[in-house]
Structure 1
């Protein structure tokens, strides 16, 4: 005899009892209005945190080139500072609105949108690649292919390119979040962090995490200032210590005491850091030393290390070929996965059954059976409450596109009106594909779309007419639009889980982006002026990716001036990287055990041109996580994000203090330097001879 089917309401209650519900914890709290969410408190905290963390993000973008998510420090500090604000005003007997998770979401959204401009704005990549410092010693270093950074032009260009993508993706928010039920893992993780911090137990844990973050932050700032006192000359300071021996130091392998890279390594999976270490050992330990023995045969003797016609040409173009291979495979893989998922959902829509008198009956019939839980019903009702005419964002995108088409050719004369118009025609397609793929895989490949656009536009314009700058500017247009669209959908997912109004999310995203478009160029200008003044060394050089992006822009235009066998080696490494990427994807799909031991192609490619000191520091961070987890896994999982954020933020502010001292013409009083035994003997003999003669 078949079991009887329980009534709809009873079956639903049984299902809810089996599944833990976060919204049951907040069931007695009303959903705050927009005026109770966007408050003077949230605005002030957002501006303060946005400015502070933008400094950190800019330091990372210009030195390591990596873009770790700052959502965790934004969420932690965005929860801590308003509570401090409330306590201070309570001591003054001033009434305040309660601090809610929706207000926390607004702060986090605004701060992350502001700091994201440091990466999506291309300060360490395509904008810096236009400068004369990136063009020095390379092909196309004439005036037509060089544009020096200018604060006013950067602010206007970012304001034109950073908003259109958001308007392009807004009409699809209900489709991607509600109908297709995309997970957007980063947005989901951020939302669960915020929800947890607003429970009694989560608030206590949050206080411990913030205390650990502040202790680490203060310690690293003090350590950075201490290091400054010993860097009173060229090749002086702790960064130049040969931690693994003189021979390894000459090949670039040493620990340069960059705590930000250690923090990045604590966030990265083991596979990424180990893959980078493998790439550094293969390239900087074997390939580059061998190619250097061919100086005078494959390329002229006596060239500067940054000259694209010398050893740097091999580093840049071989790394580019591997990045393109992995990026193209990811793009086609995500595109095929996206099309498959969409077609599968079209064939099996599985419409939702009648709710049977349960709450929130106003939900659309686009929902499937997975929304029968109380959490999903409540979240969907709040998310669908805000409606916006589909034509409004479309008209806003058209307006922004027209303005950009008119203005951008005046900012970068190498681009013509039809070039910019074509870029804005194809940008929405790329933005949707990237947002959908990001929702499935959590991979944001906006830079891959930008690189493809760079190759197309640079070859379209040509080297004589400024194809390098044209390609880099087109890359900025596409990458900015595609990246901001994906970021907005991640934030919509966060807002969906924290019951934050989509309209409120849109407002905070737009406000944070506008703040970032103004703040980040100013921060970049300070770094750029100080670095150009020579207040840095090779171990901490600015913009390791700038020459890579410039190399991609030149790739489709000319082979003249490149070292011998460059293109042959590029084709070989492209094929090897593509084969390795395909093997990794097949192994993951088939569930082969060997998949754990196949290195990440993109991480290896980065190590081909990034200094090994970055890799060493990141491996140190992974080692800390591993050893910490072996001793106390629970403590590691709770406290390691706070420690990593403290390392990254502390190093960023420590470098800012050093920059300010440099701008004030302050000179470190001490020079600490390590010499080899042979050099030390020669130095002792020289000093003894000098003392005798005097």
Structure 2
């Protein structure tokens, strides 16, 4: 039973532990030092997130490392200022949450900005993976950086405005859990106690050590990459034949760190998918050339490429729609039960729940202070929706103002449904909303502008739905740490601004380091962007642009559909019944990703998880406490090395050595002969 206000001894109270500390005002929470650190951490984590998103397609939650570093950086800055004799405001958890909120939204902009999905899907690089002859009207080769920044700012801001009017309903009326936001709040609250600060210091030391090792290893590898397919990244650990099948270990600290963070089902689902596709299925399909298909083109959809593309898309779409329907049903049932209780506001809630404890009453009081009127929020949303309906078509002329207006008319409904589902299950299905939008808009527009228009609409929907769920997670964290909701909204808007500015610049840095013969989005690139092809293919399906497929392709897709649906149904029943088999049911989306990208990163990730299992066996407490911090350091170290690598490339400083592997026999003799000729001085 809940503790009453008059009897604080019946339950432990978080807020009573902080009762003696002053409550800062809004501008005591929104500080210049927090803003500066938010920019720094935003650059770091956006670099890391974008690199992972462009290679793997699956980005793990980075809440723990962002929470630890935001606490540690602010604490270090305050300590430094005081040692220098500068009077500094006290370091509070509310300022910590403002900083963390800004960084989280900045990362969200990186993941919804299209850098690895719909923007790349517009390019000729991705278009050529579906057809040899491309209609130039279905391509946007380059979006000017300034326009891209404006586009990201508008769609990110609309994501915030679409959900803010519902924050009181979700957090106070229906008291949704928002598990990630709740866990982050507990983490920050604990950090601001002596014991929690000690744990945070341990985690930061582990992160910094692994960061230094990862950065140094990346620098060492760079010296051997003076050419295509050179260096440790192309090390044929399992032989040259498997290397041709993209099955090798590439010594990447990033993917080893990812394997430590990602659940075991994701890691081994990726490995299983890579073995099934590149190990068995693709060689079998290649053996059917001349029987099931006759084209030699590696990109035409009526050749072997048709199987590869549509098998992966079938599994991803089926998995996404199944999860989407599951979430909608669960959220609807939960909403119906809460509606039956008729908790229509704070007054009714306080009247019916007289045992509301001290913490909840304190949090409700702070949260409801300085609430903005609904009329102002609605007016702001309508105004910015109107601006977007004019500005976005001027950036992408393939989409019309009425398409944008229609999307923003439905955006609040989509945002509410997804945020409510996230509050109940901690599960956002924003990509599924985006894929459905692609299909609908492509069918609505028709040729020749349908592909680009549908991909732009995908970005609008993705930002609105995904940003809104992140906003509510952060508001839940702010609610549980007595952070002003006004300060939280300022932090979210500031996060959108820095995200819209730095993310296109980071993308340009990646574009600079990409190999000339393997640009971003190509299957041979170190940044293949697996989802970019998926999104473009859905647009092609929406306009009926896929008419000729190789023999038995539809049959393979039907088999993949039924297998995916059956596995998802098995997982759902196992979770409902509490069967132990639920811990061994694979993720079908994770299985599908290697169908597009290859197998190399899956081996690294499984190795990372194997190391975690060994660590847990040796010292479980140490592994649970420090593994996420260690993984974050590995990921950040290699990810941030791309910054100096890009600068070196800009200044024409290239690696001095190419380390390449070739098969034995005549190839070795040819290379040796060539090298001997190079060493022979020329005669004049």
TM-score by length of 2: 0.93
Partner of 1:268: 262
Aligned mates of 1:350, 1:523 — CA distance in 2: 46
Listed one character per residue, the Cα deviations across residues 374-408 of structure 1 (whole Å, up to 9, x for unaligned) are 22222222112231101122111111111111222
Q: How does 1:549-588 map to 2 (within 5 A)?
A: 549-556=535-542, 557-588=544-575
Instruction: List alignment gaps of at least 5 residues for structure 1.
Output: 1-7, 353-362
Partner of 2:205: 211
Residue 505, structure 1, aligned to residue 498, structure 2? no
The answer (yes or no) to whether the contact 1:371–1:377 under 8 Å persists in 2 is no
SS of aligned partner of 1:255: coil
Partner of 1:674: 661
Partner of 1:441: 425
Q: 2:124 aligns with which of 125, 132, 135?
A: 132
Aligned mates of 2:442, 2:666 — CA distance in 1: 48
Q: Name the CA shift for 1:11/1:132 in 2 (closer, same or farther; >3 Å).
A: closer
**How many equivalent pairs are there?**
674
Aligned mates of 1:431, 1:692 — CA distance in 2: 66
Q: Name the CA shift for 1:379/1:679 in 2 (closer, same or farther; >3 Å).
A: farther
SS of aligned partner of 1:437: helix
The answer (yes or no) to whether the contact 1:138–1:309 under 8 Å persists in 2 is no
SS of aligned partner of 1:522: helix
Partner of 1:466: 449
Listed one character per residue, the Cα deviations across residues 506-544 of structure 1 (whole Å, up to 9, x for unaligned) are 110011111101111121123224426347793623322
Q: 2:158 aligns with which of 158, 164, 172?
A: 164
Partner of 2:37: 45
Query: What CA RMSD, in Å, does the superposition of the two structures yield over aligned residues?
Result: 2.5
Alpha-carbon offset, residue 173 of structure 1: 0.6
Q: How does 1:503-542 map to 2 (within 5 A)?
A: 503-531=486-514, 533-534=516-517, 538=524, 540-542=526-528
The answer (yes or no) to whether the contact 2:662–2:668 under 8 Å persists in 1 is no
Alpha-carbon offset, residue 409 of structure 1: 1.8
Q: How does 1:300-449 map to 2 (within 5 A)?
A: 300-304=294-298, 308-349=301-342, 364-367=347-350, 369=353, 372-449=356-433
Listed one character per residue, the Cα deviations across residues 615-635 of structure 1 (whole Å, up to 9, x for unaligned) are 112212211221111111111
Q: 1:152 aligns with which of 146, 151, 155?
A: 146
Q: How does 1:137-286 map to 2 (within 5 A)?
A: 137-139=129-131, 141-150=134-143, 151-286=145-280
SS of aligned partner of 2:12: coil
Q: Name the CA shift for 1:9/1:190 in 2 (closer, same or farther; >3 Å).
A: closer
Partner of 2:292: 298
Aligned mates of 1:131, 1:10 — CA distance in 2: 59
SS of aligned partner of 1:668: coil
Partner of 2:644: 657
Residue 95, structure 1, aligned to residue 68, structure 2? no
Alpha-carbon offset, residue 301 of structure 1: 4.9
Alpha-carbon offset, residue 433 of structure 1: 0.5
Q: How does 1:610-625 map to 2 (within 5 A)?
A: 610-625=597-612
Partner of 2:619: 632
Alpha-carbon offset, residue 52 of structure 1: 2.4
The answer (yes or no) to whether the contact 2:295–2:302 under 8 Å persists in 1 is no
Instruction: List alignment gaps of at least 5 residues for structure 2.
Output: none
Q: Name the CA shift for 1:295/1:42 in 2 (closer, same or farther; >3 Å).
A: same
Alpha-carbon offset, residue 218 of structure 1: 1.6
Alpha-carbon offset, residue 690 of structure 1: 6.3
Q: 2:73 aligns with which of 55, 69, 81?
A: 81
Partner of 1:54: 46
Alpha-carbon offset, residue 127 of structure 1: 0.8
Aligned mates of 1:52, 1:369 — CA distance in 2: 45
Residue 453, structure 1, aligned to residue 447, structure 2? no
Q: Name the CA shift for 1:95/1:662 in 2 (closer, same or farther; >3 Å).
A: same
Alpha-carbon offset, residue 594 of structure 1: 2.2
Identify which range, 246-255 or 448-457, moves more after superposition. 246-255
The answer (yes or no) to whether the contact 2:475–2:485 under 8 Å persists in 1 is yes
Alpha-carbon offset, residue 86 of structure 1: 1.8
Q: Name the CA shift for 1:396/1:11 in 2 (closer, same or farther; >3 Å).
A: closer
Alpha-carbon offset, residue 116 of structure 1: 1.5
